[in-house]
Structures are given as structure tokens and as C-alpha cells.
Amino acid sequence: MRTINAIFKREFFGYFRSPVAYVFLIVFLIASVGLTWFVGQFFSANDASLNRFFIFMPWVFLFLIPAVGMRLWAEEKRSGTWELLLTLPVTTIEAVLGKFLAGWTFITLAILLTLTMPITVGYLGNPDWGPILSGYLGTILMAGAFLSICSLTSALTKNQVISFVLSVIICLILVFLGWSVFNNLLTSINIPVWLIDALSNFSFITHFDPMTKGLITIADLIFYLSLIIFSLLLNVLALERSF
């Protein structure tokens, strides 16, 4: 744990030693608030909830989290510092966990900065706080799942741009599989319903939507946690094979 904590501190505080962290936080907040207030037409909907905020989260994460995750290992490989890191008295899994937890904490910080929105909703109306709290839990878990995939793609290449593109493609597929528009398209071309349902179970949206409605199930928690663990294990294997 001491080693993981040391890597975590190195990586987490490293975000704030460059303008990238501040740019990410500003862009994330502008995108979240702008999409909710204006594109989602929050004020004209007369609905004291954050449904519109949560609806846009998978699409915001689709581009912003790969921007954070692409540097986790690709930058280390490009500069050659990853070989030095892994020759220190630290195991590969400790290095992967330390970097991932630092990135996840940074993104969680960005999510928590949007807490002014539920405060505003509470001031303007009388919301049901259950769906809001469970929605934030689902948002944080979904962010971790996105980041674990981005960490894996970053470990597969030295090029951050390639890592970003691969992450966006994989995450886009996992979003599309649960998107109602995409499922209706599959239905229209006579894809069996059982196959569509099976594919939708691998989607972020399928396991995120119930949480935004206040429903937290073991299946949804297991999906996110197992996806994170599986991606990180592949991350470890990818690094050990290329070392």
C-alpha cells in the first residue's frame, strides 16, 4: 500500500503541475453546465431533478476521459521513464493501480465540482435526493470504467494520439450498445431481440440509467467493478509483455 500511495501522490499532484489539469476542469465544467442548462433546456422543463445532467455524462466522458487517460502510460513509454519506474522496487500491478487511482481521483474531483448544480436544483425546487445521490455514484463508477479502458490503450502504444483514438472508439461502442436509437436501428434490420438485449448488457448506458433513477443493483455495481478490474489486469499483462 505504501508503494501504491507513493505512485498515487506522484501522479495526482503531477496533474496540477501543468496547465492540462486546469484546462480539463474548466472544459468539463463548461460542457456539463452548458449541456444541462442550455442544450437540455433545464429551466424550461420545470423539472426539479438532474436527469438532463446525467443524460449527457456518457457523451462528455467519451472525449474528455480519453484526454486524461492517454498520457498514463504512453507518455512514460515515449520518454523512456516507464522502464525506470518498473525497475524500482514496485510491482507492475502496484504501478498500474497507483496511476489509475490518481487519474480516477482527479476525474472524481472534477465531478464533485459540479455539486453546485444539485444545490441550485434544491434552491429552485424540491428534488428527490435519492436519484441525485445514486446518479453521482453511477457517474463516478462509469468514469472509472472509462478510465480503465483508456489506461489499457495507453499501455499498448507510445503515441498519445493513437491511445486517444483507440479509447474513443472502444468507449463509443460501449456507449452505443445501450443507446435506444442504436438499438432501434438494429431492430429495424431484423437483428434478433435476444442478441440486442445481450449486447446492450455490455453498455455503460444500460447500467448507468437505473442509477440516475435512484435504483442501485448488485448487477450494475458488478458490471462497472468487473470492467475496471478486467481492464486493469489486461493493462498489467500488456506492460509486462512489452517490458
pLDDT digits (tens, 9 = 90+) for 192-212: 777 767 778 888 999 999 999
Q: Which residues contact 104 (CB under 8 A, 6 or more apart)?
A: 143, 144, 147
Is the CB of residue 39 less than 8 Å from the CB of residue 24?
no
Is the CB of residue 61 less than 8 Å from the CB of residue 142?
yes
Is the CB of residue 64 less than 8 Å from the CB of residue 31?
yes
Rg (alpha carbons) of the chain, rounded to whole number: 19
Q: What Å distances lie between residue 6 and 35, 86, 147, CA to CA? A: 37, 14, 20
Is the CB of residue 86 less than 8 Å from the CB of residue 7?
no
Q: Write the single-letter amino acid at 16.
A: F
| Residue 186: per-residue pLDDT | 66
200 dihedral zone (left: phi>0; alpha: psi -120 to 50; beta): alpha
| Residue 243: per-residue pLDDT | 61
| Residue 195: per-residue pLDDT | 73
| Residue 239: per-residue pLDDT | 84
C-alpha cell, 117: 448544480
Is the CB of residue 62 less than 8 Å from the CB of residue 210?
no
CA distance 82 to 88: 10
pLDDT digits (tens, 9 = 90+) for 151-171: 999 988 888 899 999 999 999
> For each of the chain's 243 residues, which pLDDT tens digit applies?
778 888 898 889 888 888 888 988 999 999 988 888 877 677 666 676 788 889 999 999 998 999 888 888 777 766 666 666 666 677 888 889 999 999 999 999 999 999 988 888 888 778 889 999 999 999 999 999 999 999 999 988 888 899 999 999 999 999 988 777 666 666 667 777 777 677 788 889 999 999 999 999 999 999 999 999 999 999 999 888 876
Across the chain, mean pLDDT equals: 86
Listed by start position, the domains of the chain span: 2-242
pTM exceeding the 0.95 threshold for the entire prediction: no
